[in-house]
Amino acid sequence: MITIHKSPDGKTLSVKGVPQSSWPPTKGAYWQMMIPDKKPDTVLMLGVGGGTIAKMLLEKWPDIKITGVEISQEVVDAAIEHLGLKDVNMNLVIGDAFQYVFDHDDKYDLIVVDIFDGDNFPLRFLTPKFIRRCQELLNKGGELYINTPNLDHGMSLIIPTRTVEENSGNRIYKYEN
């Protein structure tokens, strides 16, 4: 379910009750961390949502070329109607972002992975196969930015009193009643 929340500060697009995009961007939100310091000439955005990151990139560098892949036509329609996505200068593809990277060979200076469906993050976007393919699509000196869930924060909400043990890259969250 997609909703638009209007406030004096702007509009927010939410999916399943979870904010996905805002315009103007909410101060202190993660979006600013997804904007590189150096100018990318070409950008692949996997997950466009309401277009917050695309707009921020184009505000900073109006002449860059962006290809955005978004799986949800419903999200795109809401973003066009409420967040001005129709005015964003990018090649917008409606399709599966995971498959897109394997079906195309164009190279990019920046690849942004921002794939959320509400609070769901598809783990296939963290597989070695996917990460390696993204690396192959980067130009020399290119960057890959991936927005992932913060499991420590999520677990602290679910299990407030816990211990965390780490071994071989795994984290074990323990709760004692």
At 142-163, the pLDDT tens digits run 999 998 877 666 666 666 655 6
In the beta sheet, which residues pair with residue 92? 68
Query: pTM above the 0.95 mark?
Result: no
Instruction: Give the whole-angstrom CA distance, residue 153 versus residue 174.
Output: 14
Q: What is the pLDDT of residues 49-75, one digit of tens each?
A: 999 999 999 999 999 999 999 999 999
Compute the distance between CA of residue 1 and CA of residue 14 in angstroms, rounded to an integer.
8
**Structural domains of the chain sorted by starting position, each given as residue range(s) with its CATH number in brackets:** 27-146 (3.40.50.150), 147-177 (no CATH)
